[in-house]
Chain A
Amino acid sequence: DAGVTQSPTHLIKTRGQQVTLRCSPKSGHDTVSWYQQALGQGPQFIFQYYEEEERQRGNFPDRFSGHQFPNYSSELNVNALLLGDSALYLCASSLGFSGKQPQHFGDGTRLSIL
């Protein structure tokens, strides 16, 4: 039973570029959340997708956008990259969004901005 898978594992971009990160949820899960983890910090909630719609959003600018596909997989897009966007981006999946069900995390995508 595959867990949450993310691609790519590492990525290097330059300022001003755009990036797309991908996530496949754990089998049987229908809700995907994205988090940004800066070095030495706890993860920060970006947004959550359920039924192909953004259900909740954290305090991130519109440069951060996402999408969920009918097979529940998801993409995170970041435009006009800044040096401060360098971080580990984590995807988490769950069944439903009640908060009572545990979220399962992938190993993340390490994004470095030069």
Chain B
Amino acid sequence: GDSVTQMEGPVTLSEEAFLTINCTYTATGYPSLFWYVQYPGEGLQLLLKATKADDKGSNKGFEATYRKETTSFHLEKGSVQVSDSAVYFCALVPGYSSASKIIFGSGTRLSIRP
């Protein structure tokens, strides 16, 4: 079945460091891909999305490119801030289904040191 695999955390970086969180997926057809972020005590917020191959999603300095050839959607940011500390979830919505269930990865906890 469809699934998402993302790098295990926790990931700890210093402020202004470069961030990469790896994400790969297994899916039938052409899924839509997402990154969600969860701050402590809160629900999930959509960070960025891409709906077809080679699309680049971007928001708040974060970027991810939909790579069909490598089935990947890695999250990157050039210079992280303490406020970026949160749990990040890679996710997909299957392309074959008429309903929109989201399949999530297990999450990567990111901590940024001042």
Q: Which residues of A contact B (CB under 8 A)?
A: 4, 31, 33, 35, 40-45, 48, 50, 55-56, 58, 90, 92, 94, 97-108
Query: Hey, which chain B residues are within 8 Å of A98, CB to CB?
Result: 98, 100
Q: How many A-B residue pairs have CB under 8 A?
A: 71
Closest 7 CB pairs of A and B: A42-B104, A56-B99, A99-B100, A99-B93, A105-B43, A105-B44, A45-B101
Stretch from B13-21, B45-53, B60-68, B74-82 at the A interface: B45-53
Which B residue's beta carbon lies closest to that of A31? B100
When the two chains form the complex, which single residue of B49, B95, B102 contacts A45, counting CB atoms closer than 8 Å?
A: B102
Interface residues of B in 82-113 (CB under 8 A from A): 89, 91, 93-95, 97-107
Which A residue's beta carbon lies closest to that of B99? A56
Which A residue's beta carbon lies closest to that of B107? A42
Query: Hey, which chain B residues are within 8 Å of A90, CB to CB?
Result: 43-44
B69 at the interface (CB under 8 A from A): no
Q: How far is the CB of B70 from chain A (nearest CB, A)?
A: 21
Query: Hey, which chain A residues are within 8 Å of B51, CB to CB?
Result: 100
Indicate whether A56 sits within 8 Å of B106 (C-beta atoms), given known contacts A99-B93, A100-B51. Answer: no
Asked if residues A99 and B43 are in contact (CB atoms below 8 Å), the reply is no
Indicate whether A41 sits within 8 Å of B106 (C-beta atoms), given known contacts A48-B100, A105-B45. Answer: yes
Query: Hey, which chain B residues are within 8 Å of A58, CB to CB?
Result: 101
Query: Hey, which chain A residues are within 8 Å of B99, CB to CB?
Result: 48, 50, 55-56, 97, 99
B32 at the interface (CB under 8 A from A): yes
Query: Hey, which chain A residues are within 8 Å of B101, CB to CB?
Result: 33, 45, 48, 56, 58
- Alpha-carbon distance A58/B1, docked complex (angstroms): 12
Asked if residues B107 and A102 are in contact (CB atoms below 8 Å), the reply is no
